[in-house]
Amino acid sequence: TIGGSDSGGAAGVQADLKTWTALGGYGMSVITAVTAQNSLSVNDVAWMTPRFVQAQLEAVLSDYGATAVKTGFLGQAQIIIRVSALLQMYKPPHVVIDPVLVNHRGQPMFQDEAQQLYLTYLLPLADLLTPNLVEAAVLLGTSSIDSYSRIRHAAQRLHQLGVKHVLIKGFRDGAEMVDVLFDGERFIDFRQPWIETENTHGSGDTLSAAICAFLARGEGMETAVAHAVQFTHRAIQQATSWRLGGGHGPLAHF
């Protein structure tokens, strides 16, 4: 996983590593930023230099290798460019791009140039792109995506930009949560009962990490997404009674 560290342990690389441990995988991490955050807010951020991010990724891929790689919060233009170059060099079998462009409140977490950088350097490498509704709109430079038909249209447009598979996640349809996968030919809906809870911090990270893990096991994309959706739903369900912090709490991965 290539992303930010969450001092609260709910999101970012902490969520990824917990997910992989819960699913029996061996996780490795490249830290792009260290955050001082809790369930209420991100209070401060310390950025890793692009050179140091590159050094971490080279150290891991040159020795351990990786069956699957996911990117999360990258944060800086030069980090995106260097990560892209190394992924092209080492060619891991599976690449999941989770475009972490906004926080769980929908607030921007990136510079304005992020959209074009993702389109140019990362989307062509992605086996799977996993934006939420806001991130999909940012990548496409469109207004809000607020209906099922707009989700399908957005998925088609993102696929046309060179992504093999697109999973737009987090659409509430009445009493259900819907994630929509598009493979260039078919739309596949993954539906789970809506869970009324504040403990959802890190759910997007958990979902993309779980997909990464199931792909690393050798599952096909549709099966990997189905299993990951079930795992994430269970992790949210198991945390509904938790009272950790005063805001959006974490998931229960184990």
Position 39 in a domain: yes
Position 140 in a domain: yes
- The separation between the first and the last C-alpha atoms of the chain, rounded to the nearest angstrom, is 19
Position 244 in a domain: no
Q: How confident is the model at residue 143 (pLDDT cuts 50, 70, 90)?
A: confident
Position 82 in a domain: yes
217-226: average pLDDT: 98
- What pLDDT does 111 receive? 64
191-217: average pLDDT: 96
30-57: average pLDDT: 95
Distance CA 44, CA 54 (A): 23
Position 245 in a domain: no
- What pLDDT does 56 receive? 99
- Number of domains observed in the structure of the chain: 1
- What pLDDT does 46 receive? 95
Q: Which structural domain, as residue segments, surrounds residue 23?
A: 2-238
Position 254 in a domain: no
Residue 144: is its pLDDT beyond 80? yes
Position 141 in a domain: yes
- What pLDDT does 112 receive? 64
CA atoms within 13 A on the CB side of 63: 7
Here the CATH number for the domain that contains residue 231 is: 3.40.1190.20
Residue 213: is its pLDDT beyond 90? yes
224-236 as b/e: b if 16+ CB within 10 A? bbbbbbebbbebb
Distance CA 52, CA 84 (A): 15
Residue 214: is its pLDDT beyond 90? yes
Position 113 in a domain: yes
- What pLDDT does 60 receive? 98
Give the whole-number percent of the chain exceeding pLDDT 90. 88
- What pLDDT does 237 receive? 97
Please write the tens of the pLDDT for every residue from 94-138.
Answer: 999 999 887 666 666 666 677 889 999 999 999 999 999 999 999
178-199: average pLDDT: 97
